[in-house]
């Protein structure tokens, strides 16, 4: 039977999704929490790939010459985990909005605004303002 999570663990557990959607860039606490959640999610994927790799190595050693037949599922799972296992950081996601990737819910947030650097700070610009300014990303 699993033990209940401790209060210290629950206090450190992120309360925000690993995305910058809906984060006010001037609110430093929520901004830092989003950065931490993104990095934590990337590290989890990296560690999952490491665990699958260790299991694959055990399978190769255990099965010997039959590893091509016996370890195929682990090998495919490891190749899928390798695609997402690199810790890339949050700067690209912080400065560039990619529809469908940064917003997994599928909502169109272009009308609500996008984050753009402006005089060293990030400011929210609506889609209409961006079109007036000649922004070709929308």
Q: pLDDT digit string (tens) for 73-118?
A: 999 999 999 888 888 888 777 777 665 555 544 444 444 444 444 4
DSSP letter assigned to residue 122: E
Residues 66, 71, 72, 76, CA torsion sign: negative
Query: Token pair for residue 78?
Result: 């490891």
In this predicted model, what pLDDT tens digit does every residue of 52-63 receive, in sequence order?
Answer: 999 999 999 999
Angle value at C-alpha 81, between 38 and 72, nearest 5 degrees: 165
User: Strand pairing partners for 118?
Assistant: 121
d(CA 45, CA 39): 10
Q: SS3 string of 15-47?
A: CCCCCCCCCCCCCHHHHHHHHHHHHHHHHHHHH
* Selection from 26-30, 31-35, 57-61, 110-114 with the highest mean pLDDT: 57-61
DSSP letter assigned to residue 100: T
């Amino acid at each position: 039977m699993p033990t209940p999570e401790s209060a210290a663990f629950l206090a450190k557990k992120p309360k925000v999704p690993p995305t910058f959607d809906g984060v006010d860039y001037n609110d430093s606490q929520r901004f830092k929490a989003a950065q931490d959640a993104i990095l934590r999610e990337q590290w989890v994927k990296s560690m999952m790939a490491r665990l699958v790799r260790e299991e694959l190595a055990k399978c190769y050693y255990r099965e010997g010459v039959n590893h091509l037949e016996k370890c195929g599922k682990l090998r495919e799972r490891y190749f899928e985990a390798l695609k997402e296992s690199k810790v890339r950081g949050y700067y690209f996601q912080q400065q560039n909005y990619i529809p469908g990737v940064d917003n997994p819910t599928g909502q169109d947030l272009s009308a609500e605004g996008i984050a753009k650097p402006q005089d060293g700070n990030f400011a929210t610009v609506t889609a209409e303002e961006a079109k007036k300014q000649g922004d070709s990303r929308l």
